[in-house]
Chains A and B, each alone.
Chain A
Amino acid sequence: MKPIYVLVLLTFLFNSCEKKDCFVDFDPVTVTVKFTHNWDGTPINQNDFDNFKFTTENGELISIELLRYVVSNVTIGQINKKYQLINVGENTGTEIVLNQVPQGNNFVKFRFGFADVDNLDGVYQDLNSSSFNVPMMMGGGYHYMQFDGKYKDINNQNANFNYHTIRAVNMSNPMNLILEDTSFEVEIGAFEFSKNTTIEIKMNVAEWFKNPNLWDLKVLNTVLMPNFNAQKMMNENGKNVFSLGKI
């Protein structure tokens, strides 16, 4: 075929189709990362708060009264949201919208809490305003999660728990704190994006008490922030908390 005919044919093809139907449509898309919460598959919503209705793997009946946490570096390919506070009880922050995501294959990941490089004391005004800080005597920066509630103790009496996750800190020498980054990255996987999409990320709250460390609330209930080993255990359990939901 002569080059002139090829050119005419290509011109005809480009001009004859609607933009949205054509292979030349490379407009970026919007991806919404939606966090949902469940207890071993049973959805948790605002109405479930403040009621004794969940049982931990260790057999303690608990109520959830506050559950809020930070995810950072929410990343799809090269597009990134620095951080967001998710408050389950208030149903705020659960959706993170990332615009201008290029079509094609993109890897999805985020971090639970802040990596040390981002866990800077007092720099995030919205988190300060929400009183999400960690005292400097414990290394400063921010909570990763505040999870408060009640459990039934050995006498079947209500008792409080504060499952607060932060950067682990050994305070045995207050002048020389030993800190360990206990935030962790959650890799969701690679996905092909060709249109606006919502990705559900599921948090199974029960996992915080389950695996690999069976959590005994009668032993580990409050004042967990300065408990280095407890923070390490939370970190280990947290790695089993998130999973991919619907797309």
Chain B
Amino acid sequence: MTKNWVFLSLVFLLMNCSSKEEEIYTPVAYNLEIPSLFAQKLIAPIIPSNNLLTQEGVALGKKLFFEKLLSADGTQSCATCHNPQNAFSDRNQFSKGIDGNQGFRNAMPLFNLAWNFDELFNWDGSEFSLENQAFEPVRNPIEMHETWKNVAEKLQNHPQYPTLFKKAFETSTIDSVLITKAIAQFERTLISGNSKFDRFLRGETSLTPEEENGFNVFMDEARGDCFHCHGSNNNPLWTDNLFHNNGLDKTFTDLGLGAKTGDPKDNGKFKSPSIRNLAFTAPYMHDGRFATLEEVINHYSEGLQFSPTIDPLMKKVSQGGVQLSAKDKAALKAFLLSLSDVEFINNLAFKNP
């Protein structure tokens, strides 16, 4: 009898220890690897105080980013439309959801998102914060067409996820808030800062004469004048992350920012995308209307359409644009391609685990 009591007491103590060990598990802080040019030139990235990066949170977010259980029929994950090989964008003009329905905008590439200082995401700025943005595709009927309640249940019944959430967030109870927090943590680690042009700025390589001329076209107010919206050697994001009407249409079928704000003065305005990684992110523009970089450059050179909200930075609209020479166009393209970060798209840390 005494032996039994001793045994039971030991079992109780061991169980108690085990549960305490779980309770006190603390996630390990994740140190974002900030490229030297970013650290030198830019203000600090945005990391919300209620969702600090942890190694466990980032790892969980990565697994969730590639998790097809997030869709109703288990066929699509975030990565389906945000393919790492395409700098986390979609080569299709419009992505197809699980029911075969197409969207009406091109999937935006995903990188350097923590430096989107205003935290307005999507082409039309419709979502504030990465965490909020991650809510939308799951419940969108033309995308993953699922409910968050179902997703939480599926993950809760999964053999691995409850433990992973416990490690990342100190609770094994899974809900949509924690799922989107984890995805946002992973997305903030998607940093692209090692293109040829970055290496040139760091003094590690040189540009070809054509690339150099292309950079000059980009920076010349009398020629390309791209730098006012698309960054520069001093803004290595290569975007202002703001919303502009860049003269695509005379009338709008998609109001863009105007649909979000309800203000007609915002009609036809869309976020300036970064011009990093253009080699991987075709087709271009919010609606993926241009298949090639040549088409994009021709648009700014000769194809501008006037509309009441066209950005004042669009020059010579009455002549269709800035009228670049064939040589300048080719050079501009060469420079743009020098911003391709092959290391980024092949980074195993960002690939399907």
Contact = CB atoms under 8 A, between A and B. Distances in A.
Contacts of A222: 315-316
Interface in B279-318: 306, 308-318
Interface residues of B, number: 34
A99 interface: no
B312 A126 contact: no
- Which of A65, A129, A161 has the most chain B CB within a 10 Å cutoff? A129
Contacts of A190: none
A159 B233 CA distance: 30
Given A128-B234, A128-B235, A150-B312, A226 B41 contact: no
A181 B12 CA distance: 80
Given A148-B313, A158-B306, A226 B231 contact: no
Contacts of B265: 49-50
Given A121-B234, A131-B228, A135-B220, A161 B43 contact: no
Contacts of A226: 221-222
A149 interface: yes
A160 B310 CA distance: 9
Contact of A223 (B117, B221, B235): B221
A137 B312 contact: no
A131 B312 contact: no
Contacts of B318: 157, 159
B29 interface: no
Given A159-B317, A160-B310, A160-B315, A135 B227 contact: yes
Given A121-B234, A125-B41, A137-B216, A148 B312 contact: yes
B42 interface: yes
Contacts of B309: 50
24 contacts: A50-B309, A66-B312, A122-B233, A128-B41, A129-B41, A129-B42, A129-B43, A129-B115, A129-B117, A129-B235, A130-B240, A131-B235, A136-B233, A137-B220, A138-B221, A148-B313, A159-B317, A160-B311, A160-B313, A161-B312, A162-B313, A223-B222, A223-B315, A225-B221
Given A129-B42, A131-B228, A131-B229, 12 more contacts: A122-B41, A122-B233, A126-B43, A128-B234, A129-B43, A137-B220, A146-B228, A148-B311, A159-B317, A160-B310, A162-B315, A223-B222
Interface of B: 41-43, 115, 117, 216, 219-222, 225, 227-229, 231-235, 237, 240, 265, 306, 308-318
